[in-house]
């Protein structure tokens, strides 16, 4: 395997200095973002534009622990299996009460549901670390429970 890795098949991949971002537009009513390669909505780092014609009940898998900036286990090369440092920004393009649900304690280690108020432009940014999604910055129009 050659380093640095480059983006392949539209999925974000790791290289020595971090993650190459991607992006997706969500248009369903029950979108499922998974960590399994080959799934329709395979997890990539980047922007997720919520453009559904009604409320979208998004399920978000927990990130795979490991990897991240500087490589796995403190080595020079990255751990391509881990998703630490993946960053997801969800932005609403439609005025519905969209939700993002993770397994128990998947957000900040204590909550698992992010509910958007029904307004265009509401947003939240999540960053992966050790198998948990952490909120980065101040969410706009999003409540965590």
User: Which pLDDT score is estimated for 40?
Assistant: 85
The string of pLDDT tens digits covering residues 20-60 is 566 899 999 999 999 877 788 888 889 999 999 999 999 99
131 has a pLDDT exceeding 90:
yes
User: Which pLDDT score is estimated for 17?
Assistant: 43
Q: Are strands 46-50 and 87-92 parallel, antiparallel or unpaired?
A: parallel
Mean pLDDT within 118-127:
98
User: Which pLDDT score is estimated for 103?
Assistant: 97
User: Which pLDDT score is estimated for 9?
Assistant: 43
Q: In whole angstroms, what is the distance from residue 86 CA to residue 60 CA?
A: 13
The string of pLDDT tens digits covering residues 82-121 is 888 889 999 999 999 999 999 999 999 999 999 999 999 9
7 has a pLDDT exceeding 60:
no
Residue 10 Cα distances to 41, 49, 128, 144, angstroms: 11, 16, 20, 30
Q: How many CB atoms lie within 10 A of CB 103?
A: 12
Q: Walk me through the domains of the chain, giving residue ranges and CATH numbers.
A: 24-144 (2.60.120)
What count of residues does the chain have?
145
């Amino acid at each position: 395997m050659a380093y640095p890795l480059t983006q392949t098949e539209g999925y974000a991949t790791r290289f020595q200095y971090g993650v190459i971002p991607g992006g997706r537009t969500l248009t369903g009513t029950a979108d499922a973002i998974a960590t399994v390669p080959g799934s329709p909505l395979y997890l990539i780092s980047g922007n997720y534009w919520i453009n559904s014609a009604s409320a979208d009940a998004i399920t978000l898998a927990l990130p795979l622990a490991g990897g991240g900036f500087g490589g796995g286990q403190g080595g020079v090369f990255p751990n391509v299996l881990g998703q630490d440092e993946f960053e997801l920004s969800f932005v609403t393009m439609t005025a519905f009460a969209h939700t993002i649900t993770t397994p128990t304690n998947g957000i900040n280690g204590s909550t698992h549901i992010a509910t958007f108020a029904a307004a265009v432009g509401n947003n939240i940014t999540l960053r992966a670390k050790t198998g948990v999604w952490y909120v980065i910055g101040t969410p706009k129009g999003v409540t965590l429970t």
